[in-house]
Structure 1
Amino acid sequence: MTNNKMLVEERSRDIGNFLVGRLLPFRRKRQVGPFTFIDHMGPSVIAPGQYLDIDQHPHIGLSTLTYLLEGEIEHRDSTGAEQLITPGSVNFMTSGYGVTHTERTPQHQRNGDSYPIHGYQVWVALPKEQEEIAPNFVHIAKEDLPQWEENGMHLTLVAGEGYGRKSPLPVYSPLFMVDIKTVKNNHLDIQGQLKGEIAIVVVEGEVSSDEQRIGQGQMLIAKTEDECCLDLAAHTRLLLFGGAPLPEERFLYWNFVSSSKERIEQAKADWKAKEFPIVPGDTTYIPLPE
């Protein structure tokens, strides 16, 4: 494998009563463009009594982007936002100087039946000059995202700019997130279509690059100018993430991202002192990990 490509395997992480596969960050690569964190949730089943219940927890310095392929999650946050997250929609919570939120199996699915759950949550670091903006939440419905057919592939521009299109999702730096699905064997040429660093996540199926096979649950990281062609097997689904890297290093502790180590220490102290805003009507609290 040439030096301009890295292959990443999912690592299992426990987030309470749910396991996720973490793709980013890892030791050799902390960010891809402004993306600092990529978690793969599922595919799994929400069974009776085994509901997704992620209690109130904080963020600073980033936007969380939740994109479901199957299932539903109820999002509530300290801005007052309440949103049922459904497959194909994009949900973007910007923490800025500080936000708290919860993620739960919605009430109508707590009825003794089983439900599938599958999706991704990614963290996008905010530019240094916008790390302390006011928190906000944006939901874009599936039908409002740019979607098109190209050479037998179905593409959706989830966020940012690419392929001569622009997602309606308001973002803070040059980036892209693209969902690509194939029915038959295909060839993907991304040269000139996307700008910046790129991570290619194989959701299902298989892709090939320079005789390197990348399978389900793996991620290939490259630069778009170097990694411009991929062969896709039939019934493959990819997510492409990336964009222009931020000029400063980002520090990551628990749910906090910042260009300043001191700011992270302040956020830790504020969460311990319970000085963050809270989700209306919610008294749950996940303690700071020691």
Structure 2
Amino acid sequence: MSNIGLIIEERSRDIGDFLVGRLLPFRKKRMVGPFIFIDHMGPATIKPGNYLDVGEHPHIGLSTLTYLLEGAIMHRDSTGAVQRINAGDVGWMTAGNGVVHTERTPSDLRDGSTHHLHGFQIWVALPRDKEEMAAQFSFTPGADLPTWTEGELSYKLVAGKGFGCTSSVPVFSYLFMIEIISKNQALLDINKQVSGEVGVCIVEGYIEACGERIEKGNILVSKYNDACVMTVGASTKLLLFGGEPFEEERFIFWNFVSSSKERIEQAKEKWKAKDFTMVPGEDEYIPLPT
């Protein structure tokens, strides 16, 4: 997914053990582990005249993680990958030294019917020694992801490592992304289950932390690595994410992420010159924003 405009930072607030905001990055916390950007898509109604059509746009220095809760997206990129991503699947595209892709409503859903699209497009910065690797795309069906239940909570390990499990999504640094769904109210204690910085995206329902109730649509970031305890409300859905942070700062402009400002400038000029390898069969070019 293209970050068409510049990222607008919303105010974050401090509630004790956590920072709370509605976007990543936000003012007091620009990354959580290697996670640098989270775009919550929908829930949206897809119908004639309102199909998803994101034309050709580039990335460098990151991997994109597409995870849908409802609906489907057809992914095409300059590596030649063509892949339908359904709800529960993981599309993992690594840009490295440069990739171009499109995202569209699949052709079989352009039949005059109405359906829903809801999910997340997540950017994970690459380690500095992997920023210039060759672009690649990986697809993992939802049925291949580790799942388990503990008490009132059901877990799915979308990517990385956590709770003694490992996802088959081919990540390049220590990270975790876990979907957690509650039936009834329950205590969630992730201490020693994951490592590094910890973020919590409330998709549905609410959690209680530090004496406050935080509703859906918010992201919490723990101020203390590895130690995170909260009460999860009944019928709540969370995305738990994070990992070990990098030593070097990451810079971001539009769809470009890098440890080097000069590298981002090079990518900007290359895209303006239409010098990236483009997507076979596509010709809808999204210009560099000014």
TM-score (norm 2): 0.93
Query: Match for residue 9 of structure 2?
Result: none
1:8 and 2:21 equivalent?
yes
2:248 equivalent to 1:235: no
Change in Cα spacing, 1:255 to 1:281, as seen in structure 2 (3 Å) is same
User: Within the alignment, does 1:99 sit opposite 2:99 as a pair?
Assistant: yes
Match of 1:129 in 2: 129
In the alignment, is the contact (CA less than 8 A) between 1:194 and 1:224 conserved in 2?
no
Distance 1:213 1:243 in 2: 25
Q: Please give the alpha-carbon distance, in whole angstroms, between the structure 2 residues aligned to 1:191 and 1:117.
A: 33
Question: In the TM superposition, what are the counterparts of 1:10-49 in structure 2 within 5 Å?
Answer: 23-49=23-49
Show CA shifts across 1:13-59 (max 9, x none): xxxxxxxxxx2112221110000000000111102111000000000
Matched with 2:193 is: 193
Q: Take 2:190 and 2:143, find their aligned partners in 1: how far apart are those partners?
A: 24
Residue identity matched to 1:120 = F
| Mapped contact 2:19–2:223 kept (Cα < 8 A) | no
Secondary structure of the residue aligned to 1:159 is strand
Aligned equivalents of 2:16, 2:250: Cα separation in 1 = 24
Q: Does 1:80 align with 2:80?
A: yes
Deviation at 1:228, TM superposition (A): 2.1
Residue 217 of structure 1: aligned partner: 217
Aligned counterpart, 1:171:
171
- 1:19 counterpart residue number: none
CA offset at residue 4 of structure 1?
Answer: 4.1
- What is the match of residue 13 of structure 1? none
For 1:151, the aligned partner's letter is G
Q: Is the 8 A contact 2:190 2:226 kept in 1?
A: no
Q: Does the CA-based 8 Å contact 1:190-1:224 persist in structure 2?
A: no
Query: Distance in 2 between the 1:272 and 1:239 partners?
Result: 36
Q: 1:148·1:156 contact (CA, 8 Å) conserved in 2?
A: yes
- Counterparts of 2:177 and 2:126, CA distance in 1: 16
Structure 1 segments (4+ residues) deviating >6 Å = none
Q: Secondary structure at the match of 1:41?
A: strand
Q: Deviations over 1:125-151 (max 9, x none)?
A: 000011000000000001100001111
| Identity over aligned pairs, percent | 55
User: In 2, distance between residues paired with 1:47 and 1:27?
Assistant: 36
The answer to whether the 8 A contact 1:66-1:92 is kept is yes
Instruction: Report the TM-score, using the length of structure 1 for normalisation.
Output: 0.93
CA deviations 1:88-138 (Å, max 9, x no partner) are: 111100000000000001111111111100000100000001100000000
**CA distance, structure 1, for counterparts of residue 208 and residue 17 of structure 2:** 15
Q: CA deviation at 1:214?
A: 1.1
Give the superposition deviation at 1:152. Answer: 2.1
Does the aligned pair in 1 maintain the 2:192–2:226 contact within 8 Å?
no
- CA separation in 2, counterparts of 1:192 and 1:139? 29
Give secondary structure in 2 for the equivalent of 1:269: helix
User: Which ranges in structure 2 are unaligned for 5 or more consecutive residues?
Assistant: 1-13
* Inter-CA distance 191–59: structure 2 relative to 1 (3 Å threshold): same
Partner residue in 2 for 1:14: none
Q: Report deviation, 1:246.
A: 0.8
Report 1:104-119 matches (<5 A): 104-119=104-119
Distance in structure 2 (CA, Å) of the matches to 1:180 and 1:255: 29
